[in-house]
Amino acid sequence: MSERFVVISGCSGGGKSTLLAELERQGHGVVAEPGRRIVADQLRSGGSALPWVDGIAFARNAIQIALADRAAAADAQDWVFFDRGLVDAASTLQHLTGDPALEAYGREHRYHHRVFLTPPWPEIYVTDAERRHDLQAALPEYERLLRDYPSLGYEVIVIPKIDLCARADFILAALSD
């Protein structure tokens, strides 16, 4: 199962969601980013589990959603592309609390051994209601992910800054190797 689950992670504003929309357009299964779903829900309900209000509650919610997403995709027969995932949430929680969340969640709940990261891309970076931080604030998380995925035995592949269809083709080619 886990080798069919492919994580696309990386720098905030690096084009992950657009890339996943292209993969979905091509007929692949995709799972939306837990963080964006949490933020939308919390803004709608007036909740406080927001990364800029209560980052720990936000990360814990992201872990629960990522676990549920994995369970929901368990019967998939083909690739399922995750916009971020459990390791991202565990990395955030561990960074904020010092708890060994990466070890607790990252080793037991595996994804495909190749993880794709979008690099910082200032030319396309934008803020919005759900992404309030600037690019400089996003860089430390990107650096953590570059460190944390390999620490769990994943091969990290940084996606080149090329046009959208070429990015999708790049990922699919890397998975067929």
How many other CB atoms sit within 10 Å of the CB of residue 147? 11
Burial of 52 (0-12, 13-18, 19+ CB in 10 A): exposed
Model-level pTM?
A: 0.90
Q: Per-residue pLDDT averaged across 98-113, rounded?
A: 92
Class of domain 2-176: alpha beta
Under DSSP, is residue 61 helix (H, G, I), strand (E, B) or coil? Answer: helix
Pairing of strands 155-158, 29-31: unpaired
User: What is the domain partition of the chain in residue ranges?
Assistant: 2-176
pLDDT of residue 135: 53
pLDDT digits (tens, 9 = 90+) for 119-141: 876 565 566 556 555 556 767 88
Q: Per-residue pLDDT averaged across 159-177, rounded?
A: 93
* Percentage, residues of the chain above pLDDT 70: 88
Is residue 117 within 8 A of residue 142, CB to CB? The reply is yes
Helix axes 135-151, 86-97, angle to 10 degrees: 110
pLDDT of residue 127: 61
Amino acid letter for position 114: R
Distance CA 82, CA 98 (A): 25
